[in-house]
Amino acid sequence: MYQSIEKEMRELEKALEYHSKKYYEEDSPEISDYEYDAMFDRLKKLEEQYPEYASPVSMTHRVGGAVAERFEKVRHNVSLGSLTDVFSPEEVTAFCSKVKGQFSNVEFVTEAKIDGLSVALTYEEGVFVLGATRGDGEYGEDVTANLKTVRNIPLKLNTDTPPARLVVRGEVYMPKSVFAELNRVREEEGQPPFANPRNAAAGSLRQLDSRVCASRKLDIFVFNLQECSEEVPNNHKDILDMLEKYGFTVSPYRTVCNTAEGVRTVIDEIGEKRSSLPFDIDGAVVKVNSLELREEMGETASVPRWAVAYKYPPETASTVLRDIVIQVGRTGVLTPKAIFDTVRLAGTNVTQATLHNIDYIREKDIRVGDTVFVRKAGDIIPEVVGVDFKNRPEGASPFEMPKTCPVCGAAVEREEGFAATRCTNAFCEAQVRRALEHFVSRDAMNIETVGKSVAGLLIDSGLVKDVSDLYVLDKEKLASLEGLGEKSALNILDSVEKSKTAGLARLIYALGIRHIGEKAGAVLASEFGNIDALMNADRETLCAVKDIGPESADALLSFFTTDKNRFIIQKLQEYGVLTEDNSVKNGDILAGKTVVVTGTMVTMKRSEIEALIRSYGGTAAGSVSKKTSFVVAGDEAGSKKAKAEQLGIPVITEEEFLKLLK
């Protein structure tokens, strides 16, 4: 009996590893999410029942596990040291010239310096057994459970002949898009935002509950070999190529050249790409390529002589803060916003920035009239990072949050343990207005004729008190509103009527539930089939759904157990809004094909083209690989188009794609 159980567990592990690679790395899934989840759940239950047979490379580690009591200290056999920082092109030239003075035929490798958290990954007989933070370079902390949730860290090396022992060093980071969404959610929930992606990555990796770390969608770039029990190539670039074959994601934009001018050109090229990269970098690293020369050059007491880190100057601008205004979100959170004189950052004009909450304002002592320093966190989100106190005008007084909601006048409160201040009126006009604007938006119910201005009219007139009121609008009352008329009223009613068939996926997203975006809406619609089944699902059932983590499950439970929300859904059902899954299948012309959409489209949004791909039987992938069938490229298509061309994968336009479907 036990032999058959162990055999089943090994077979499940092998199958899950295969299908996970097909899904995440090759963008070419061969089975449905339902089938994958069923195998995953079966393996997890067997591991719980028979822990003696559980494998350290099981895919179940990817979702996190039990809460740890603390992190154990780990000693690094090879120190995780730091590099000498240089801040000018002249210092780069001086470094290269000094090295070339010693070794005339020297080569340099220049790489992007990822702004994240440095870690060491240890493999024994090809299996990932230990992950530790850098710490002080000599001792770090054991964060193996958390690192197992980082999907591009291989749990097992991709080779039939792994070295007995291998230790690599990498930089764990949070992608800019993940950082932006995480901060948006934290602010909406009244939690303090992270200062930058590096801060967010560090906070995520040091979570005692590895399930939280799993939900943060961290990534890693491996940039160095620390130890290896077998002979390795004699230069850095070839070592990175070897590690890439083992299954690691290695340093991006690595270039070999043999002159200072070449090194500086590469540094400039990386710098020009900085704002468009999907991850944060704070510099470029220049290293001697040859390991033999590195050994000969040696190290000082604290840093190697064979490498330097060039730090790009932070793009920060100063401006005058003219006002601090309060915005009320659809969850009732009062968010202070800075309004300042226009400055240009990362290629765009910026006139305002969120100040997050009162704690942030007090910590930095920000006052109206101050000259403030502004930058873009992760080159995306404008933020006020400091104050020029020497230029503070006389009489500038500390800012205080209002005692009442600036929109409805209701009392505001700050929950204990939370940074956010909230309006206590669930029917606050601002909350209803934001909820309505989201509900009618293009990716939600797509009620085109109800933009922000019309939404404001509907609320100001009292015709709409919650989103369900859209479906019982009276034509005469609608036509009588300022700026409308009978024709506009008919167009609005027609658009509202069409939205009734938008389907469950769009409706779930339109309801504005925390943590639930478009993708999650589609997943939940497919999983539950109708709104009633979703509303009545318990936490365990929700957590078992692919891509729905504990935070999302709790948000769904909170939303659907609120009487007001259940009443609105009941009214939507009574008014004829479709609350069942109606995913359309247009045919199988793209069956078996994996398609990547990139760039700015002309007639459709990328998400709409991806929906079309799925409806015609294809797979809409997020990245280009050898398994990609073709790429649909719009304007300003960047690295994905370039990679497709490099791999010889067909690239077509939006117009050509639509013709293909016809």
Q: Are 514 and 493 in contact (CB under 8 A)?
A: no
3-state secondary structure of 83: coil
* CATH architecture, range 594-661: 3-Layer(aba) Sandwich (3.40)
Q: Mutual orientation of helices 606-615 and 654-661 as an angle, nearest 10°?
A: 20
The C-alpha R_g of the chain, in whole angstroms, comes to: 28
| Protein fold of 504-574 | DNA polymerase; domain 1 (1.10.150)
Q: Are 308 and 109 in contact (CB under 8 A)?
A: no
Domains 429-499 and 504-574 share a fold: yes
What are the residue ranges spanned by the domains of the chain? 2-55, 84-182+192-311, 317-421, 429-499, 504-574, 594-661
pLDDT at 120 over 90: yes
Q: Of 18-32, 113-127, 261-275, 621-635, which gets the smallest average pLDDT?
A: 18-32
The H or E element that residue 37 is part of is helix 33-49
DSSP character at residue 508:
H
State the Cα–Cα distance between residues 574 and 579, nearest whole angstrom. 10
| Tokens describing residue 213 | 């770390």
| Protein fold of 317-421 | OB fold (Dihydrolipoamide Acetyltransferase, E2P) (2.40.50)
Q: What is the CATH number of domain 84-182+192-311?
A: 3.30.470.30
**Residue written as token pair 């006389």:** 394
The pLDDT tens digits for 89-102 are: 999 999 999 999 99
| Protein fold of 429-499 | DNA polymerase; domain 1 (1.10.150)
Residue 25 — pLDDT band, cuts 50, 70, 90?
Answer: low
Q: How many CB atoms lie within 10 A of CB 522?
A: 21
Catalytic status, residue 546: no
Residue 584 — pLDDT band, cuts 50, 70, 90?
Answer: low
Q: In what order do the strands lie in the sheet with 630-633?
A: 619-621, 594-598, 630-633, 651-652
The H or E element that residue 160 is part of is none
State mean pLDDT over 214-240: 93
β partners of residue 75 = 139
| Protein fold of 2-55 | Helix Hairpins (1.10.287)
**Residue written as token pair 């991806």:** 610
DSSP character at residue 405:
-
The pLDDT tens digits for 156-187 are: 999 999 999 999 999 999 998 888 888 887 77
| Tokens describing residue 80 | 């995780």
DSSP character at residue 4:
H
Give me the catalytic one of 7, 22, 44, 113.
Answer: 113
Q: What's the mean per-residue pLDDT of the chain? A: 86
